[in-house]
Structure 1
């Protein structure tokens, strides 16, 4: 037993020295534990603190932070195109495998690590996720919108408080049901987790459109509730449009995008709270690659966290941590939008084919 203990201790010491002094990523700063074990990263993600932790680390260490022995997080907007562009050669890592559904013969597009299979499937379905096609079927969700509005009106009439977070989740699930199965699942009508499907989401469909969409809606409403001035402006804009008969009973996309302050609020909410607040790691192709001015050897895991880049003061200003919809009405909005939506591309519906 003593010999085993000494062997294990010696192995650990050798590994620590190698990881800290001789590893190809040894020159990049980061937490000590992160440089010698992935357990540090696993625990941080499990605690739901990845967004805050990585923002803090980048403030301390700079644009490149070592978050695991073989992985770095990069807070450089220009790195997004290099890492996540189609046919970039940066393949997905085993990070995606735990999200793969346990049933089914073939992996879904999100968890498929084979670039060729992913490209084949992308060609088949990508057109369905284009904005032009999405707009054509928006009338399909009118029934869901009407059901949600009626429920809220009933609660308001009876002076009943509601948990917006739950209702938004129920709404997005019923929208998915209506769009893909031509029938709402019944969450809005029942006002509860019908059949326990939401509770079993991680087992049934680990990555689903309903979850990321609900996160975006929650973020927008959360910040509007906490910012009375913005809430007053957006409600006034909507009321004015109503009085001028510029809005249908169920507001259509083409009508909503003509309300600049509403659009600004949506962008700002999604900027502060992207649906995925962690890096989506990829492997550097063999031969290595220069990213953010640094050479990374093949096999290195690299990624960009939208929750970090979308609060970059160099892009969004010194008030980047604050909810300020007005920033999207300024002259430099196009520049900010270019960087923001570059980060969102991997998880957006319209650009589903890129991920």
Structure 2
């Protein structure tokens, strides 16, 4: 009866009703949980559409830095989203046993197989699931495992250096260096995961359009991740996923297919390891044990590590393994050539190390991991590159537990999304000095032990806490080997001196128009 009376009024005055409901929704967002006490862009408190719009400009890191410099340590990025730029917030948000968990931004990045999301270490929001999963594969990514992986990395590194000389060093042709470094990173992932280079360097091309797909994928993830429900409408639509499960839609995520095909080539060996474990001969392989074998061994040791999780872990290697390492390598070389005194000083350190025997004078001019650890200026250049241009360009989102928590002395209500942006953290003058916008590796050498500890604690290049990037050690192995090895063989210069690269922040801040020329180096 009441419905019959109200419904005609709603129909008659629908414009008023629509405006009233919309205003109520926006005002509720603005004042919900009392987060209106935190400053930010005027539109951020009303709707996440502002953040989606800003992210779609592909330079969100600069927006975040500007907001923090204008408003202080805590900035509101959305109705339920707070960004913290004080390094003390790292421990509060990402420290162990805090009860926080990843937001719905991360499942948007998950791959799909046969209509079902592949839960990975990176994309899962379930902390218990993550802890159980990580225990299965921790050994494969431990620092002690680097000894096993160095021969695999070395194989691709030597091949990449030879191809660099053939394609660019001997010809003087221009090189899209960021792309060429990504080809290297991709082939290293192939060698590390499947003991097989994937053909990016050999063909000097994007194999199976994987890089093209990843670029499109991250361009989708970045804005859609700001309003994750959109992903359930656009890509992970329940109707589409159901069609895939019953076989009506046979499409498969290209990266998943790529990883599946590579793993299927070794299906017999993987099944044997899963049943019986690694043999003594496999453990003694002088080329090292690849990650697929270690994942199969993990399946032998932990029933939790089933076929889907082996596939998911291999897929994650493709997603994150090439992108972040290539970004870091590009940063090292770009800032080095943009600062000639840094280039000269680093070359002097490398040449002196060869002369005094710290670096073995090999015919292929490669530098080993232990040798690279003895080059303090190289370490300073790498750390400063991480600081000035970290890979992730958004806050690393976490959800406050239901009971709420204290961050920087403020009580943050349960369910609030909080996080830190590496770009803002890495530019804190009280931590890194007044010249935070300047590339100056010396800051890492001049710092006292206490100051150095403070600086390293403020770095978020690889994340922090239990969800620190599990592939961090592999990425460091690649970077610390490639940079000095390349510099021993080649001189590098910008194709157009004075040219500035362009960056593209689609979750990871990639670089474009970094065009260089190389010359074989004579010592």
State whether structure 2 residue 111 is matched by structure 1 residue 96: no
2:469 to 342, 347, 354: 347
CA distance in 2, matches of 1:146, 1:212: 21
Equivalent residue, structure 2, for 1:148: 160
CA distance in 2, matches of 1:139, 1:7: 68
Equivalent residue, structure 2, for 1:198: 211
Deviations 1:82-139 (A, max 9, x none): 2112332101111112101022654011111111111101111112212121233111
1:325 to 421, 434, 441: 441
2:353 to 221, 241, 257: 241
Preserved contact between residue 131 and residue 350 of structure 1 (Cα < 8 Å): no
Preserved contact between residue 80 and residue 343 of structure 1 (Cα < 8 Å): no
Equivalent residue, structure 2, for 1:10: 20
List gaps (5 residues or longer) in structure 2.
Answer: 1-10, 218-252, 256-314, 475-523
State whether structure 2 residue 371 is matched by structure 1 residue 255: yes
User: TM-score, normalised to structure 2's length?
Assistant: 0.64
Q: Give the length in aligned residue pairs.
A: 352
Preserved contact between residue 403 and residue 414 of structure 2 (Cα < 8 Å): yes
Deviation at 1:158, TM superposition (A): 1.4
Moved more, 87-96 or 342-351: 342-351
Deviation at 1:270, TM superposition (A): 0.7
Preserved contact between residue 93 and residue 282 of structure 1 (Cα < 8 Å): yes
Preserved contact between residue 29 and residue 61 of structure 1 (Cα < 8 Å): yes
Equivalent residue, structure 2, for 1:189: 202
- CA 1:276–1:184: 2 relative to 1, 3 Å: same
Moved more, 85-94 or 11-20: 11-20
CA distance in 2, matches of 1:211, 1:116: 27
Preserved contact between residue 331 and residue 385 of structure 2 (Cα < 8 Å): yes
Equivalent residue, structure 1, for 2:134: 122
Q: Give the 5 Å matches for 1:210-225.
A: 210-225=322-337
Q: In structure 2, the residue corresponding to 1:142 is in which secondary structure?
A: helix
Preserved contact between residue 93 and residue 301 of structure 1 (Cα < 8 Å): yes
CA distance in 1, matches of 2:463, 2:440: 19
CA distance in 2, matches of 1:147, 1:264: 27
Deviation at 1:2, TM superposition (A): 6.8
Equivalent residue, structure 1, for 2:259: none
Preserved contact between residue 386 and residue 461 of structure 2 (Cα < 8 Å): no
Deviation at 1:22, TM superposition (A): 5.4
2:410 to 294, 300, 303: 294
2:420 to 269, 292, 304: 304
Q: In structure 2, the residue corresponding to 1:251 is in which secondary structure?
A: coil
- CA 1:170–1:197: 2 relative to 1, 3 Å: same
RMSD over aligned Cα atoms: 1.9
Q: Which runs of 4+ in 1 moved over 4 A?
A: none
Deviation at 1:351, TM superposition (A): 7.8
State whether structure 2 residue 47 is matched by structure 1 residue 33: no
Preserved contact between residue 101 and residue 398 of structure 2 (Cα < 8 Å): yes
User: TM-score, normalised to structure 1's length?
Assistant: 0.94
